[in-house]
Structure 1
Amino acid sequence: MNTEEGVHNLPDGQELYTKTWKTSGSPRAILAFIHGFSDHCNAYGELFPTLVSAGIEVRSFDQRGWGRSVKQPSDRGNTGPTSQVLADMHSFLQSLPSQNAPLFLMGHSMGGGQTLNYIFHPDSPYNKDKTSRPSFAGVLLYSPLIALDPSTRPSRLLVASGRIVAKLIPHMQKYTPLEATLLSRDEAVCRDFVADTLCHDTGTFEGLAGMLDRGIWLEGMFEGAGGWVESELPFWFGHGTGDRITAFPATKVFVEALKAKGGDVQFCAYENAYHKLHAELPETTEKFFADVKTWVLEHVPGTEGRVKL
């Protein structure tokens, strides 16, 4: 397996760190990956090498405000509003090759909530100009931020006041640490997260408010009429039943509602697993890897029923 680092230049001049995990020959599929809050694309352990071993090339980037895309302390968590977050994502996705292999999109945690907003929200750049949208063969989400777990979810009053502060001082930073012990049942994974200086746990009031509002929109997406854009894409969801960062029940409700609307959806629940399915106890992570590989390869055009791992 070879890797290649690079830079993606955004329209406003910002540079995003990028990385590609390459297959030895022509890839069977390309997977674009969107990381989560206080995370970065090099923090996903054996997930990407495992996908590469199945012929799936992985392309990812550190989002604005995160990882190696941060050039100075004031950049930490400075993602901009949701419109900027989705525009950055769209710019990166438009730069990916789409001719030689089918393209899949995958998001984890905050990145999962972003991905769902990107596909379904009518104001997303993906839906604003359908003539230039990336062509996906499928979309995968795991531990997506549809709702925070009740034990960590802020009150409605706090969310409302946060929106006000975000308008007054949008770029002011707020240290908002994730509880490391809730990320995985593997204690070494929790220690590694704490030691990783690129996982800085810092957001801006604007970025934090946008992240929460994207989840709130997803929770109410199916209420009323005309509030979301239907998609014919196939979707795969994975979530641990023991996740106390993002809420497993919210993902289950979303999946059931999407199915009821005629969506092509598969949902895998991982018993007692925590937030980082890619870095959980071996029996969970091995099954998660196998489920992802199988689903992607089953959705490569022309390979139905002929999947080999």
Structure 2
Amino acid sequence: MGHSMGAGEVLTLAGDAQHAELVGRVRGWILEGPLIGLGEEPSSLKVLAGRLAGRLLPRHQIRHVVPPEHLSRDPAVVESVRNDPLCHNTGTLEGMASLLDRTAMLSTGRVRLGEQVRSVLLAHGTQDKACSYDAAMKFLERQHAVGDRTAKPYEGAYHQLHADLCKDEFAGDLVDWILQRCEGGGTSDGSEVPPSPPPPPPPPEAKL
């Protein structure tokens, strides 16, 4: 499971052909508000300047603040984020350039999921101001090789579903989705789910 930028990293791994054997051993992939497109896209000039600066001064630190009120509709959560000393909103130019490159690969379709990806759940708030809801849904629609893919929109929700007003519904949906894909699991209405095919055997141990 990955959230936001972490979900973008999860997808990049899942779509990487050189890790296909490992990916095929994972039963399910959960994406919460994945960073496939930014909520507010920066200008192409700003992106170009940032990438150039990232090559010249990769370790230079920059500050980028995501407004806490864009993360959740819960006022208590907003205040906790605003007052959290660990939310320093600081990164390097190199890290920002990598984030932009990965996001561009996902949004333009250069990352595609193969048949080794067994199931995907995409959960996204329709009013997410940090990551693009539309870009995420379009990405999932293009993944025709994945037979078991589920899109779950949360109407009116913001970026952090796990800390938004829909957090209980979101948690319940996660549990239900996971149990349906466990051996012998069932759905909320008590019906059984056909067993999934077994994962491929692990690679043989290397001999010294």
TM-score range, shorter chain: 0.7 to 0.9
Distance 1:274 1:160 in 2: 29
Whichever residue aligns with residue 137 of structure 1, its letter is R
**Structure 1 segment 48-197 matched on structure 2, within 5 A:** 106-122=1-17, 126-127=19-20, 130=21, 135-149=25-39, 152-197=40-85
Q: Which secondary structure does the structure 2 equivalent of 1:232 belong to? A: coil
Cα distance in 1, alignment partners of residues 172 and 137 from structure 2: 21
1:210–1:116 CA distance, 2 compared to 1 (3 A): same
Alignment of 1:269-288 (within 5 A): 269-281=153-165, 284-288=166-170
Root-mean-square deviation (Å): 1.9
Q: Distance in 2 between matches of 1:183 and 1:262?
A: 30
Task: Letter of the 2:5 partner, please give it.
Answer: M
User: Which residue is 1:266 aligned to?
Assistant: 150
- Whole-Å Cα distance in 2 between the matches of residues 267 and 285 of structure 1? 17
Residues 119-155 of structure 1: CA deviation (Å, up to 9, x unaligned): 10346xx34xx3x668311000010000001xx3211
1:64-110 CA-partner distances (Å, limit 9, x unpaired): xxxxxxxxxxxxxxxxxxxxxxxxxxxxxxxxxxxxxxxxxx00001
Aligned length: 188
How far residue 242 of structure 1 moved from its aligned partner, in angstroms, is 0.6
The residue aligned with 1:293 is 175
SS in 1 for 2:142: helix
What is the letter of the counterpart of residue 114 of structure 1?
A: E
Matches of 1:155 and 1:263 in 2, distance apart? Answer: 36
Query: Deviations along 1:224-259, whole A, 9 cap, x unmatched?
Result: xxx64513320000001011110000111111111x
In structure 2, how many angstroms separate the alpha carbons of the residues matched to 1:163 and 1:182? 26
Instruction: Give the counterpart letter for 1:112 in structure 2.
Output: A
| Structure showing the higher strand proportion among its residues | 1
SS in structure 2 at match of 1:136: coil
Runs of 4+, deviation exceeding 4 Å: 304-307
Alpha-carbon distance change, 229 to 296 in structure 1, aligned in 2, over 3 angstroms: closer
% of aligned pairs identical? 35
* In structure 2, C-alpha distance between the alignment counterparts of 1:251 and 1:229, rounded to whole Å: 14
Q: Deviations over 1:24-55 (max 9, x none)?
A: xxxxxxxxxxxxxxxxxxxxxxxxxxxxxxxx
Distance 1:236 1:184 in 2: 21
Say if 1:173 and 1:205, in contact at 8 Å, map to a contact too: yes
Residue 200 of structure 1 and its aligned partner are, at CA, apart by: 1.2
> What is the TM-score when the length of structure 1 is the normalising length?
0.57
- How much does 1:194 deviate? 1.2
1:166 partner letter:
G
Task: Answer whether contact 1:174 1:204 (CA < 8 A) is retained.
Answer: yes
Q: Is contact 2:35-2:131 (8 Å) kept? A: yes
- Please report how far the alpha carbon of residue 180 of structure 1 lies from its aligned counterpart in structure 2 after TM superposition: 0.9
Closer, same or farther: CA 295–272 of 1 in aligned 2, 3 Å: same
For residue 203 of structure 1, give the secondary structure of its aligned residue in structure 2. Answer: strand
Task: Give the partner amino acid of 1:174.
Answer: I
Q: Which runs of 5+ in 2 are unaligned?
A: 192-208
Q: In the alignment, what sits opposite 1:217?
A: 105
CA distance in 2, matches of 1:199, 1:216: 25
- SS of the residue corresponding to residue 200 of structure 1 reads coil
Structure 1 residue runs of 5 or longer lacking an equivalent are 1-105
Give the conservation status (yes or no) of the 8 Å contact 1:122–1:228: no
Residue 268 (structure 1) shift:
0.4
1:304 Cα deviation from its structure 2 partner: 4.2
Which whole-Å deviations, capped at 9, do the CAs of 1:164-221 have from their partners, x for residues lacking one?
1111111110011111110011111111011111111001000011111111100112
State which structure, 1 or 2, has the greater radius of gyration over its C-alpha atoms.
2
